[in-house]
A and B are shown apart, each in its own frame.
Chain A
Amino acid sequence: EVQLLESGGGLGQPGGSLRLSCAGSGFTFSDYAMNWVRQSPGRGLEWVSTISGSGTRTFYAEFAKGRFTVSRDNSKNTLDLQMDSLRAEDMAIYYCTKSTPKLGYCSSNSCLFDQWGQGAMVIVSS
């Protein structure tokens, strides 16, 4: 059974930093691109970032570029999101998600999110 377990959420100050982690199990972690998707009442669901299975390619939403860094350690089956220069609008539940390169699940540009973790809450407040 696929499991994605986020950790590291909590309270961060405006301008500060937080690091989220996600532990994957039940699948060959390095075979799959992984993503972060966030959800807040004001902004809804937003894709944040994607990293390829090998970790050599990364992609970011415009709001995350220059502030967030996605990385993975395939030897430990973990996915991380380093969030710097936090803003109030970054307050959200952050989901770790998996993308399977299955027929119909991916276009030539991107994929859907076929497995989700339970989410980690990020609060940004002074």
Chain B
Amino acid sequence: DIQMTQSPSTLSASVGDRVTITCRASQNINSWLAWYQQKPGKAPEVLIYKASTLASGVPSRFSGSGSGTEFTLTISSLQPDDFATYYCQQYNSDSRTFGQGTKLDVK
């Protein structure tokens, strides 16, 4: 199976900060990567697909980049609603694996 590794596991930041989360794949997944946001007690929601395309309704302060094995999710100016846990997921292979998550909390 393709392993997905996110860093950092926890990120402390303040409203207005620019933050970046990294996701690395154990092998080439081309651009078949999605980013999800999950808030406590809720199901994950798609933010970005195919590495860099924003899902419908997602604010433009979110952006994704990368291809192959290294990917990033950037929030350009953190808003109060953005404090949540973020997951990457590859859908290049049958195994559909997720990263372990990055919890973004208030500094």
Write the residues of chain A forming the contact surface with B, with a CB cutoff of 8 angstroms.
Answer: 44-47, 50, 59, 61-62, 95, 104-107, 109-114, 116-119
Chain B residues with Cβ under 8 A from A62's Cβ? 1
Complex CA distance for A50 and B94, rounded to whole angstroms: 10
Q: Is chain B's interface secondary structure helix, strand, loop, or mixed overall?
A: loop
- Assess the A47–B43 pair: CB atoms within 8 A: no
- Assess the B44–A118 pair: CB atoms within 8 A: no
- Assess the B49–A104 pair: CB atoms within 8 A: yes
- Assess the A59–B100 pair: CB atoms within 8 A: no
- Assess the A112–B34 pair: CB atoms within 8 A: yes
Point out the residue from A46, A104, A118 that lies within 8 Å of B50, measured CB to CB: A104
Q: Name the 7 nearest CB pairs between A and B, nearest first.
A: A116-B43, A47-B96, A45-B98, A104-B50, A112-B34, A107-B32, A110-B91
Chain B residues with Cβ under 8 A from A110's Cβ? 91-96
Complex CA distance for A44 and B44, rounded to whole angstroms: 12
Interchain residue pairs with CB less than 8 A apart (9): A44-B99, A105-B49, A109-B94, A110-B91, A110-B96, A111-B91, A112-B34, A118-B42, A118-B43
